[in-house]
Structure 1
Amino acid sequence: MGRWLRGQGVARSTSVRALTDDDVPVALALCAVDPVASVLAASRLRPALQTGLAAVGAHGWLFPGVGEPRALCWVGANVVPVLGDLTGPDAEAALDAFGAELRRGGRKASSIVGPAEHVLGLWDRLGASWGPVRDVRPEQPSLVLDRAPDVAPDGEGRLAVPDELPALLPASVAMFLEEVGYSPLGAAPGAYVERVRSLAAQGRTFVRTAAGARAEVDAAEVLGRVLPQGLPVREHVVFKAELGALAGPVAQVQGVWVTPARRGEGIAAPAMAAVVTATLERFGVVSLYVNSYNERALATYRRVGFEQVGTFATVLF
């Protein structure tokens, strides 16, 4: 049993316990305290209700190590802290405990992402052992819209279909390169290609396309690496957005991208309005987060009607 501290609020243990299959409903209840802030963790926990944690390739810890769980740290491709309603010394104790476990296991995740106070608090505890870091993005406004957008939807915006993979993939790679700084294909591109295909197959990718095969990355090179030769590309993607995380009432939009050659033409706001309109037919809230320095994107989202409800941060490795 871990060392016990007593501060303002409940007595708390600095230890944690490993998340088990039986704990998944408890973990989802912690996510439900703030469903917008915790949608990334909740979207990955929900499949584990049926398949178990091992099948989703991730693990986590609950805090404290004994008694009623008050916080969660989800660890997969991303580390996502979920602190429920903890504040002050209790939140600090949870971050201490999660930080100790993460240091002990070493870094395997590609990012830490979530509410800024919690992500930056974890990074303060991990920086010395988890560096070097690719980038720290400390201020990413978390935005939501739960009503009809303020902009008329783009009539040319629509759901993509899996057969459009030859057009979707170059646009997706270009977006990733621009946002993260390296290619998502890497040495083993299959997982990224399957994600792009799967999102389209699930009706979670929105596009606007135009005639021709132009792309902002070398489409022939990208497709030649990962798809059979000879597939025709009759259209290119002008706008793209994905419902990257879904949990409960919340759909989080990710991967928003406008081809550079068409930026400044006013495409993004009507296209996002189309995404919002279609998504609100299935979910109660559309959310996203964006870097604070991306003033053009922020202006677009606010024009559509999004309002800020919090601040995220991301640490990229």
Structure 2
Amino acid sequence: MLTTRHGVRPLGAADLDAFLALARQDPVVNVFVDYRATTTNLEPRWLGGEMWGRFDNGELTSACHVGANLVPVQADPDDAAAFAERALARGRTVSTIVGPQEAVRSFWNGVAASWGRPREARWEQPHLEIAALPKVAADPRVRKSTRADLNELYPACVAMYTEEVGISPEYGGGAELYRARVTQLVSRGWSFARYDDGQLVFKAEVACATPYAAQIQGVYVPPAHRGRGLATAGMAAVVNIVRRELAPVVSLYVNDWNTPARAVYEKVGFRETARFATVMF
């Protein structure tokens, strides 16, 4: 297939090996796109979008996931600018731009004038990793969620999402889809929580996983239970379970201004390895 201007074209199943080799140059930072590629075979109907690749002398040198989330992959500022030019030709179809800070900033600079004002831009998001035993004791009461927990778990997921993103996942009729996503994570064994007398007091989920890394999302303690160390001990438990059952490295990214969350992750033993940025519409 011929490449387009600046060497950018959509990738397909024939490009899977080359794409995975690219993503695995940094397998923890790129865990989301690695997971998406391996579970969809880069087929657009399963991706719910496209994966673009940029080539130099026939070699894949960078990529960009374009679905609900737009995610640059091993992209320097020039790569990101080339992806932005391609994106301008089709208009904005994504709800979020997220990934390594420098690439996101370069991409955004290329599309900002046409894509309109974002709902929010978060430019300083430390990307954290842990590849060892936690530095604190794990909460023995944290366990995998089951379908029997959904009546308690689902409202907590909605509350966490609303607090973190600033809009409910149920907004605009999204409740059915979001409940299906929560149920899917439970079914995979990717949802973890602690319950006291049937009441959820801590939760977290795995968003995506490969043999190299697993990314955590949705860490939440209801307001009435904060200040008791539940998040610290709970995250230690999640790290232990995930490293034992899914992947050797556990990662996440957090807003720079979220001092309580950053303190929790530091106590557990996470360390910053990169900076992310997120632009939300």
Indicate the TM-score class for this superposition, using the shorter chain for normalisation.
over 0.9
**1:93 is aligned to 2:56:** no
- Matching residue within 178, 181, 193 for 2:166: 181
Say if 1:31 and 1:38, in contact at 8 Å, map to a contact too. Answer: yes
Cα offset, 1:2, TM superposition: 7.5
> Residues of 2 paired with 1:75 and 1:236: CA distance?
38
**Code of the aligned partner of 1:28:** L
Say if 1:139 and 1:291, in contact at 8 Å, map to a contact too. Answer: yes
Q: What is the TM-score when the length of structure 1 is the normalising length?
A: 0.84
Aligned to 2:130: 145
Aligned to 1:308: 272
Say if 2:70 and 2:97, in contact at 8 Å, map to a contact too. Answer: yes
Unaligned 5+ segments in structure 1 are 4-12, 212-234
Cα offset, 1:126, TM superposition: 1.2
Say if 1:160 and 1:203, in contact at 8 Å, map to a contact too. Answer: yes
- Matching residue within 108, 120, 124 for 2:105: 120
**Code of the aligned partner of 2:19:** A
- Matching residue within 11, 15, 27 for 1:23: 15
Inter-CA distance 36–316: structure 2 relative to 1 (3 Å threshold): same
Aligned to 1:36: 28
- Matching residue within 31, 48, 51 for 1:60: 51
Identity of aligned residues (%): 40
What is the root-mean-square deviation of aligned Cα atoms in Å?
Answer: 1.7
Q: What is the TM-score when the length of structure 2 is the normalising length?
A: 0.94
Cα offset, 1:310, TM superposition: 0.8
3-state SS in 1 of match to 2:167? coil
Say if 1:204 and 1:242, in contact at 8 Å, map to a contact too. Answer: yes
The number of equivalent residue pairs is 278
Aligned to 1:192: 178
Say if 1:103 and 1:129, in contact at 8 Å, map to a contact too. Answer: yes
> Residues of 1 paired with 2:3 and 2:155: CA distance?
50
**1:277 is aligned to 2:240:** yes
> Residues of 2 paired with 1:311 and 1:97: CA distance?
21
- Matching residue within 257, 260, 272 for 2:220: 257
Unaligned 5+ segments in structure 2 are none
3-state SS in 2 of match to 1:107? coil
- Please identify runs of 4+ aligned residues in structure 1 that moved more than 4 A: none
> Residues of 2 paired with 1:261 and 1:22: CA distance?
52
Cα offset, 1:162, TM superposition: 1.8
Cα offset, 1:101, TM superposition: 1.1
**1:170 is aligned to 2:155:** yes
> Residues of 1 paired with 2:235 and 2:54: CA distance?
38
